[in-house]
């Protein structure tokens, strides 16, 4: 790809269901996609989470960039093609008695392009999702680099949390006219609750929800696979 057209980046965003399903199928799904980055929801976040994260990354043929316990299970993985220059984690304000949620961020460089990779997983509780979405959105809006953000939003595009995160960004499914592709659940696909949003300066080349016999064994969510062209700096 020539520099004036952009720098290619292949992204997988994937809720892996805390690895409770077929681990071999999960690894095979990601390896077959050959991504440059993987945005993981429901990754390791408890006892020996560092070792478990490294083992998961190795099974994918990737390395850990950011996340894990400090990001409450959100994990960012990269191929060796991608250089990570800075990372940080976020925990959303705790609502008593509710589930802890957070996000992970990594400033990255690939070829002649720089970008912010981000991942989050919002609550199943509709009362607290908008506040978490707002906290996530503040970080994305403050970014000086083009944003590539994957999330399990636990609601569809008509929900307030989804709309809040999506504002000013490109919904990659909509860009490819594939917003009818459901991401959840693998057993009974009826909802699109997982998304990849990107900065408008980024070109969306292709979008897919990978529905195969392997993905149906690997998790309760289907993975999103997106090809992008990043603006060269």
Interval 121-131: pLDDT, tens: 999 999 899 99
Q: Which residue has the tokens 């996609």?
A: 33
How many residues are listed for the chain in this entry? 233
* Residue 178 token pair: 């594939």
pLDDT at 1 over 60: no
Provide the pLDDT confidence category of residue 96 given band limits of 50, 70 and 90. Answer: low
pLDDT band at 98 (very low <50, low <70, confident <90, very high): low
Q: Which of 225, 223, 201 is nearest to 7 (CA)?
A: 201
Average pLDDT, the chain: 95
Question: b vs e for 106-117, b when ≥16 Cβ sit within 10 Å of the residue's Cβ?
Answer: bbbbbbebbbbb
| Residue-wise pLDDT tens digits, 197-227 | 999 999 999 999 999 999 999 999 999 999 9
pTM summary value: 0.96
Q: Which domains does the chain have, with CATH numbers?
A: 7-230 (3.60.10.10)
pLDDT tens digits for range 41-50:
999 998 999 9
Cβ-based burial of 180 (10 A; exposed 0-12, middle 13-18, buried ≥19): exposed
Q: Can you say whether the dihedral through the CA atoms of 18, 23, 25, 31 is positive or negative?
A: positive
The predicted model gives 61-73 an average pLDDT of 96
pLDDT at res. 2: 42
Confidence check: pLDDT of 80 > 60: yes
């Amino acid at each position: 790809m020539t520099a004036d057209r952009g720098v290619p980046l292949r992204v997988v965003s994937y809720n892996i269901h805390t690895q409770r399903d077929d681990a071999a199928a999960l690894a095979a799904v990601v390896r077959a996609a050959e991504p440059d980055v993987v945005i993981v929801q429901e990754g390791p976040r408890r006892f020996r989470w560092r070792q478990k994260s490294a083992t998961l990354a190795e099974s994918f043929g990737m390395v850990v960039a950011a996340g894990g316990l400090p990001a409450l299970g959100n994990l960012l993985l990269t191929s060796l093609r991608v250089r990570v220059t800075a990372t940080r984690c976020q925990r959303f304000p705790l609502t008593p008695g509710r589930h802890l949620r957070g996000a992970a961020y990594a400033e990255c460089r690939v070829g002649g392009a720089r970008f912010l990779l981000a991942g989050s997983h919002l609550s199943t509780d509709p009362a607290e999702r908008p506040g978490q979405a707002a906290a996530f959105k503040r970080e994305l809006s403050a970014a000086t680099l083009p944003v590539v953000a994957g999330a399990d939003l636990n609601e569809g595009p008509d929900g307030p949390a989804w709309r809040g995160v999506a504002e000013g960004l490109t919904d990659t499914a909509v860009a490819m006219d594939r917003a009818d592709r459901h991401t959840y659940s693998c057993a009974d696909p009826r909802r699109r609750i997982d998304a990849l949003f990107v900065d408008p300066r980024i070109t969306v080349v292709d979008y897919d929800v990978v529905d195969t016999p392997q993905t149906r064994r690997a998790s309760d969510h289907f993975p999103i696979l997106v090809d992008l062209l990043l603006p060269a700096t």
